[in-house]
Every structure is written in structure tokens, then in C-alpha cells.
Structure 1
Amino acid sequence: MKTLLIIPLLFFSICVFAQDLEGAWKLTHINGDPVKDKECIKIYQDGYFAYGNKEISNNHFLGAGGGTYMTEGEDSYVETFDFNTLDPKKIGTSTQYTQSFVDKKMVLYYTKKGKNMIEIWEKISDRDDDLNGTWVITGRKRDGEINTMTPGARRTIKILGGGRFQWIAFNSETKEFSGTGGGTYNAEKGKYTENIEFFSRDDSRVGASLGFDYAVKNGAWHHSGLSSKGDPIYEIWSNYRKAYLDKLNKE
């Protein structure tokens, strides 16, 4: 059955066409087997990607990874990890895939421990809004004053695309992972709502919704409301490429 499922995909993948990666994707098959017992959602936005995995039966967090990506030529696709909870040794390294598209499905071919692998991802949304992007936290208000911070090896980012969000706190030098969470969101008329679908620190938070006020001022996302613990927050998030990647490349 697996062979019958893979062969048509291999045949149709010859008809490769360019497709925009930005948005949200769901892993549906690995080597012909449907992915049933877990959910893996991957977001692409502004040259960055992040994914989170959970068990479907009990919402238990399984792992997360992400970093920068690039395409080379017609079918070469490369990921470079900033964080990877399942295999920290991959942090700072690059993995190359052969990539093709069938309708709204992305097929990735690669080798793992000497075994040929095929993953099939289905695009679930490419919804766009004024918060779509990859962001890094650069400021917090405390006691009425804004305290700014410069992103370094230790940083917290949030990626939003296709109606999905994921935040990640990590240190790319020490390979320390502090936490992640994600799910769906809505952003409209200055109101931002997160619907939590996975949370590495506490599975019981899955299903909760948090509402905030937001505004984009001079390209920065101002985010205010109450945290999951009920504490007041006011955060400033900046464009990740401008605030971190471009400065890193100049060093």
C-alpha cells in the first residue's frame, strides 16, 4: 500500500511548479504512511520557519524546531536550525532536501541514517494580515517605562503566518531551549487573540484563548494585555530580519 501511495506522487512531482512557501503547512504522510497519532504544523514567513509537534490524543508536546531556510535552483531546499528540541546537534547545521509540489502539497525527499525518506506536507492556509511576519522581542514596559533589549544568541521570536502563530525562546549558542507554544490567531481592528494548541511548558494550557490589544507603529508590533498567568504585559516586537539577521550578517 505504501508503494502504491508513493509512486503517484513521484510521478506527478515531475511537474514541478513554483509555489510560495509562506503560510502554514501540516505534515500528512511519512514514507507513504498517514500521520494520524500526532500533529505537526510548520509556519514559513520572511525566510524563517518553525514547527511544533504534539500528540493528538492528549495534546502532549513532542518537540519543535526552526531556523532559516532557502531554496536553490528548481528543486533544492535547505534548512538551517536555530533550535531543535528533538536533535540539538542539528543546531547551527544545514540539511538539504529535494523539494517538489503537487497542487497544494509539498513533497520533501532526504536521507536519514542511510534511509531514503519522503515527507508530504499540505498547505492549510496562506492567510495574510498586518501581523504576518517573523518578529523578535526588543522591548518591555515596566513601571511605566519601556526597557529596550538587543537580540543576541539568547532571544525570543514569534512567527505568524497563515493564521498560525508560534513563539520560541532559545539560545542558539548554548543550544538551550526555554520554551515554545503556538496555535491559531486572529488580528483585526487592534484586537489580537491567540488560541493555544500546543505549549511545551504545560499541556493543560491547550484550548485556552488569550486576548490582547495591538498596534503596528513604525514597523514595530506593540502588544499589550494580560499574560497566561494574569500579569499585565506590554511588549514591543521588531522585524526579525532587520533587528537581528541583518545586523548578524554585518559582523
Structure 2
Amino acid sequence: MNFSKKNHEYKNKNRSVVSKKITVIFVCAFLSLGLNAQSFIGAWESYHTSENGDKLKSIVIFSEGYQVISTYDSITGKFISTEGGTWKLSGDTMTETAEFDSMHPERVGTEVSFQVFLNDSIMGIVGWDRKFKRIDNGEPGKLNGAWLMSGRVKDGQTQMNDTSRPRKTMKILSGTRFQWIAYNTETKQFMGTGGGTYTTTNSEYTENIEFFSRDDSRVGASLKFEFDLVDGNWHHSGLSSKGDPIYEIWSKRE
């Protein structure tokens, strides 16, 4: 027998097996890397029809570590529901912990994991028919991220709040979308929310309201404010939706 030839064939076969294994590992790693490299950060939208035939719109906003999804009537702006909290991604598994849920408050504090998919313009949950189309990737907004109401200025006096307390007002922004939510993580109470599109031009911040849980008549209104970033905090002043003067301070969530 030609041991030299047999040994050569064995080495070639072994190299082929190792090569295939490396290829499989590389492809799996590449797919996992691809999902993580394509960021969920930004805003996403989806349209669907209710059982009553109403055309509904759902908006998801992802910032670093925080997310919210809201559904409202795409024609009238009538608010339907909102839920959100923290999120993290491991491979293609997303894990969310609820901080608020307007329809199911008992979910507050619970954690849920599910498999997701993502390409540059479409994302969704595996096994769920509804898909979301990308609106923006966190740009061009100067204020994208999750913020907590941390203080007010009244009569020239600055009053700061403890943002670690259960009662929170969060505002979460993508590059073009905004939403504020008032809630209590201890009592699981949802107090209200509103959202839509926004722009920042120089020192002017403008909100265009598309839904408002407390008063549908505010839908379609545009509110202009002066804003500035001072030591990392967002200073926000102008007139509220009721026409009252406000000066708010918001701190970035970590």
C-alpha cells in the first residue's frame, strides 16, 4: 500500500472537513454580526386595520436602551395604546422589560424575550405577520435619545427632581419622531402620553402632535419652543399645549 498517498488523501479530507466547519462558523457569525451591525435605533411605522375597519398606525421608537410602541387612528389621531421600557439584543433575541403599558398595567416589571429580524428598512418579530418600515435611523435630530423630566424653572428659581423615583415623565426621540409618557413603575399607573414629529432648527424645537391620550382636539397642533443643551441637560421653554408658560429641564437616561 502507498502510505504516503493515503496520508496525503487523509490530510486533504481532514482539511476539507475543517474548512467546511470554519465556513459554517464564519457564516453564522456573519449573520449574527449583520443583525447587530444594522441598528434598531430610530423610528419605525406599521399600518393595519382594526376589527371595526379603522385604519391604525403603530410607531416604534428605539433609543439606546429604551423603546416605546404606540398605536393610534391614522386618520383622526385617536389614541389606542402605548407600552415600552428597556430593551437589549443578544444575537437575534430581543429582551424587553416593561416600564409602562396603558392597556395591560399588570405587565409592568415583567420581562419578555422574542426572536427578531432586521434589514436596513424592514424589521419585525419572527412569527408575527406585521412588519415595520424604517422612518429614520436616529438622524438628523439633535435630541434623539431617552430623557427624563428632571426639573423646572419657576419664578426664576430652579427646582430639580430625583429621576430615580417611581413617578416618571419620559420623552423619547428618534431623528424625526417624539413621544412623552407619564407613568409610575411602582403603582404601574399610566397617566398620559402624546407624540408625533419634531424638528430642531438652530435653538428652536417644534413638535407636531399626531396623538394625545388626554385630548384628541390637540391633534394637528404645532408647538414651538426654545431649547438649549446645558451641561448635557435639555432646557426647554415656551408655551404648553394649554397655552401656559413652561420651562422644563430634561436629563438623558443612562
TM-score norm. by structure 1 comes to: 0.82
Do residues 222 (structure 1) and 241 (structure 2) align? no
In structure 2, the residue matched to 1:82 is 99
Q: Deviation at 1:36?
A: 7.3
In structure 2, the residue matched to 1:61 is 79
Offset from partner CA, 1:176-220 (integer Å, 9 cap, x none): 111000000001200000000000001111000000000001100
Q: Deviation at 1:20?
A: 0.6
Offset from partner CA, 1:87-137 (integer Å, 9 cap, x none): 11211111111111244111202xxxxxx5343111111223321111001
* Partner residue of 1:20 out of 36, 39, 63: 39
Unaligned runs of 5+ in 1: 1-14, 110-115, 242-251
User: 1:27 corresponds to which letter in structure 2?
Assistant: S
Point out which structure has higher relative CO (alpha carbons under 8 A, 6+ apart): 1
| In 2, Cα distance between equivalents of 1:198 and 1:157 | 16
| In 1, Cα distance between equivalents of 2:176 and 2:151 | 24
Q: Provide closer, same or farther for how the CA distance between residues 207 and 175 of structure 1 changes in structure 2, counting only shifts above 3 A.
A: same
Alignment RMSD: 2.0
Unaligned runs of 5+ in 2: 1-30
Do residues 209 (structure 1) and 222 (structure 2) align? yes
- Larger CA Rg, structure 1 vs 2: 2
Tell me how many residue pairs correspond in the alignment: 217
More strand by share: 1
Q: Deviation at 1:56?
A: 2.1
| SS of 1:204 mapped into structure 2 | helix
Q: Deviation at 1:28?
A: 4.5
1:99-110, aligned counterparts within 5 Å? 99-109=116-126
More helix by share: 2
In structure 2, the residue matched to 1:8 is none
| SS of 2:117 mapped into structure 1 | strand
In structure 2, the residue matched to 1:244 is none
In structure 2, the residue matched to 1:246 is none
Offset from partner CA, 1:149-199 (integer Å, 9 cap, x none): 102100101001131000000001101111000000001200000000000
TM-score norm. by structure 2 comes to: 0.81
Task: Tell whether the 8 Å contact from 1:52 to 1:198 is kept in structure 2 after alignment.
Answer: no
Identical-pair percentage: 44
* Partner residue of 2:170 out of 144, 157, 171: 157
